[in-house]
């Protein structure tokens, strides 16, 4: 297993994940726009938010790839299917704790279930499994993260 394989897998996996989520948004399967969601934590300018969000998402993809690498190294085994399992867990974490507990704590422009009428937020709260962004959001999110994990695991299992 190589750290370079992890970073390459993280880059390709994030590209596939981001493209998949963007395509699902364009096909009206979900209203989630992850780069916008992330970018608005830094700015209220919609154009800058998208650019910052894409950058943040790709950095996060590399960080998660390094976490996958650390776990694979610790257990001494890597494979595409184990990466898929990690991706599924990663997707469940992202759709529950990350967007509903951690992100609202630091995101200055995200509403909460307790936001009052005068407190107009730029973003509505995602809700459980991000269902506030559409019924297809959990499926799309889990599928995209499953693909990410499969790719990172596959890159790490590739013979050197």
Please give the average per-residue pLDDT across 1-17, as a whole number: 95
If residue 12 lies in a helix (H) or strand (E), which one and from where to where?
Answer: helix 3-26
> Cα–Cα–Cα angle for 74, 16, 78, nearest 5°?
20
Is the pTM value of this prediction over 0.85? yes
Question: What's the pLDDT at 125?
Answer: 77
Query: Would you state the pLDDT for residue 137?
Result: 93
Res 110 pLDDT > 90:
no
Please say if the pLDDT value at position 115 is more than 90. no
Average pLDDT over residues 111-129: 68
- Residue 65 CA to residue 44 CA, distance in Å, equals 29
20, 69, 154 from 81: Cα distances, Å: 20, 14, 8
């Amino acid at each position: 297993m190589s750290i370079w394989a992890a970073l390459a897998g993280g880059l390709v996996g994030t590209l596939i994940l981001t493209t998949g989520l963007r395509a699902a948004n364009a096909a009206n399967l979900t209203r989630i726009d992850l780069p916008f969601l992330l970018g608005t934590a830094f700015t209220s300018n919609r154009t800058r938010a998208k650019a910052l969000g894409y950058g943040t998402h790709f950095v996060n993809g590399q960080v998660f790839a390094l976490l996958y690498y650390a776990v694979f190294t610790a257990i001494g085994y890597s494979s595409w299917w184990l990466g898929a399992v990690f991706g599924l867990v990663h997707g469940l974490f992202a759709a529950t704790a990350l967007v509903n507990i951690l992100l609202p704590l630091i995101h200055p422009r995200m509403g909460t279930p307790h936001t009052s009428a005068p407190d107009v937020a730029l973003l509505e709260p995602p809700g459980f499994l991000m269902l506030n962004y559409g019924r297809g959001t959990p499926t799309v999110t889990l599928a995209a993260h499953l693909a990410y994990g499969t790719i990172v695991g596959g890159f790490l299992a590739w013979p050197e």
